[in-house]
Amino acid sequence: MELLAPGGCLETALVAFDAGADAVYVGLPRFSARSAASNLNSLELRRLKAAAESRGRKIHLALNTIVTETEWAELRQTVWTAADSGVDAIIVQDWGVLSWIRRNLPEMVLHASTQMAVHNAPGARFLQKSGVSRVVLAREMTLDEVAAVSKEAPGLELEVFIHGALCYGVSGLCLASGRLLGRSANRGDCAQICRTWFEGPRGREHCLSTRDLRLGSEVLRLAEAGVASLKIEGRMKGPAYVDATIRYYRSILDGKADEAAGKASRLAFARPSTLGFFREQRGESLLATDYPGHRGLPLGRVTGRRGRFVSVTPTHDLEVRDGVLIESTPGAVRTLRVGSRSVFEVRAGQGVEVEFDSIPSVGSELRLLSHGPGPRFHPLVPEPWHFPLTLCATLLPGEIRWRAEGFPGGGSVEGWAALPMEAARTDRWQTALEEGLGVPKDQPFRVGTVTWINKTGWNGVFVPPTRWKSFKRGLWESLALGPALRQNSAEEREKPIEPFPSSASWVPALWPDFVRPGGPAGDVFVLLPLQFDPDRDLEPLVKTLENRSEPFLLVVNNPGHLEVARRLASNPASRFAFGYAFHAANRTALNFLSGLLPRVTAVCAWQELGHETATWGGALLVPPEAQTPAPDFLSRFCVRKHAWGGDCRDCAGCWTADLNQKGIKWTLRADRCLTSVIRDPGSSARTLP
């Protein structure tokens, strides 16, 4: 199995390789689902490629955000930059991006991001047929559910998160941050609304704040389930965290668990841990309601107090300036005292009096957040990787015609230039010209093989050095524009589509069997984006609709619905629409989605998009303002069970509760153990805690 590490910056990615990662996933400055990470520029990406190539490792580039129509030109350039930097795979969320890359760079390996919310075999199979080589599965799946996808989608690689932060809402379906603050999680700018406090049935608490996933040695069972890649979350975390975490899991995979590395990982960053949904559908110890941040390692409790000093017997070594969490307040060690003598450090188990920034009460829990100056990393930064171009140059009297091939993204670039020349006096004329083709280091290419075709009538050709230098500059400028010159003209972004007339209301369903009667298209069946058991949730609906003679409209909301929709397409009474969860935000996505099924009547625009749709959407697109808002969160996490102590034995999986936060009101509505968090339409947010 591949051990896949986060690389929030070049240093961290290189440290991950040193620690034993088989591959890293990184982002460029744009279109990455971690926009606040340092990310890499194109030169750093090529340096990383050089390191990966020398060690036999891989780079997966995250282009896993929704892309708007106005950003499309920049998106194309970013994809070509990625291809020409030699990345091994691109991770995508946007359906338009998937379609465009598959059409223009057919050899590029594509991975479906967890932002696509793939959580069952039908969804995985559909993406496989769409040209995706690997699916990053939703984090809410059990081991048995993962194994079922592996069995039912043979040949498709599966990637599973094994360690790091979890989200309360299913990734790709969380709209809270974008709606409240204009910081969309689908754009890599999540404000982590779920980590803030809410007023609920038990008062003020962080009732939606999840624990961190930590599978530990359980990862060995994923190999038996057919998983190809084990993914560590953490592109916002630094090299110390990535180094320790990768060493810990590498040691487990190698059969000798390094608990010291595991401890170092928790000290670098850790919330209370959970196995998530790994062993059961309802999950295990999923939420931590008291404090949403880094909690480090247990250090002990205060046993006494004298003035500003408190007594403690630490369970770990302790130094002056170490970070300590006192109850739920971060602080630092100011002074250590043993007897009457001040010391700089004490060993674990040694009684000591400690002065903190604040004075904790007797009995307070202490947790170690940081210890000492921390490790320093100085990874070797290689020279940038350059791909070799094959150049064919034809010399004619007074001019040169050339063609360059070998771009990783495919295609070729050609051109010509006037070039003064005369007969050469040496038979080394080809070598002399090639030696003058030095490439600037900031370019991703280098000269590989040069083929000369001499049609001047001379045995050799001499070009004055100043003229050759001028030609060379023009050549490199043309090659630097290679991606733009290699654009596929068959993009079909203006494909006309005639929408089926319908007055159906675009109301997002909360439950799989939701039906809205009436309208010219007949009854409207809107599918919930989540069906962890498609046989249970979808098959009854198929049996109801496949022989129905009255017209009906089926609104799909997940890749897992498309197999069902194609089965129903043989019924001429069927009409189809793409719901909010497909996040159509550009014309390429609109055209791709509308071509997946016959008789598509509408495609719902990305609900966080705003009013940009007016210039490109056309009659087929349902703009956000015409849609009833979908839930802010859609989740498999049960707050009643994991935050409020509810018992599944006295619950049918259906309940409601109210939350409030500075005048913003939400309703939690659970059905079949799936929870929708729906904001009161009259609530608005100015600031959040």
pLDDT tens-digit map of 414-435: 899 999 999 998 888 999 898 8
Domains 2-166+212-274 and 297-370 agree in fold: no
How far, CA to CA in Å, does 114 sit from each of 34, 136, 178, 569? 13, 5, 18, 28
Q: Describe the crossing of helices 10-19 and 42-55 by its angle, rounded to 10 degrees.
A: 10
Query: For 551-602, how does the pLDDT look when each residue is reduced to its tens digit (9 = 90+)?
Result: 999 999 999 999 999 999 999 999 999 999 999 999 999 999 999 999 999 9
- CATH number of the domain at 297-370, please? 2.40.30.10
As a whole number, the mean pLDDT across the chain is: 89
Is the per-residue pLDDT at 501 higher than 60?
Answer: no
Is 644 within 8 Å of 665 (Cβ atoms)? Answer: no
Is the per-residue pLDDT at 486 higher than 80?
Answer: no
Query: For 238-264, how does the pLDDT look when each residue is reduced to its tens digit (9 = 90+)?
Result: 999 999 999 999 999 999 999 999 999
Distance, C-alpha 530 to centroid of its chain: 19
Residue 215 is given by DSSP the state: -
Is 290 within 8 Å of 319 (Cβ atoms)? Answer: no
pTM of the model: 0.91
- 50 pLDDT band (50/70/90 cuts)? very high
Average pLDDT over residues 286-307: 95
Calpha distance 147→125 (Å, rounded)? 14
Q: Which residue ranges make up each domain of the chain?
A: 2-166+212-274, 297-370, 388-485, 500-689
Is 600 within 8 Å of 621 (Cβ atoms)? Answer: no
Tokens of 379: 């990874």
**Nearest by Cα to 173 from 118, 96, 125, 213:** 118
How far, CA to CA in Å, does 379 sit from each of 17, 243, 251? 10, 11, 21
Q: If DSSP codes are grouped into helix, strand and coil, which group holds residue 26?
A: strand
Is the per-residue pLDDT at 97 higher than 90?
Answer: yes
Calpha distance 509→515 (Å, rounded)? 8
Query: Which class does domain 2-166+212-274 fall in?
Result: alpha beta
Q: If DSSP codes are grouped into helix, strand and coil, which group holds residue 28?
A: coil
Predicted pLDDT at 218 = 97
Residue 284 is given by DSSP the state: B
Is the per-residue pLDDT at 28 higher than 90?
Answer: yes
Q: If DSSP codes are grouped into helix, strand and coil, which group holds residue 93?
A: coil
Calpha distance 380→13 (Å, rounded)? 11
Calpha distance 640→651 (Å, rounded)? 10
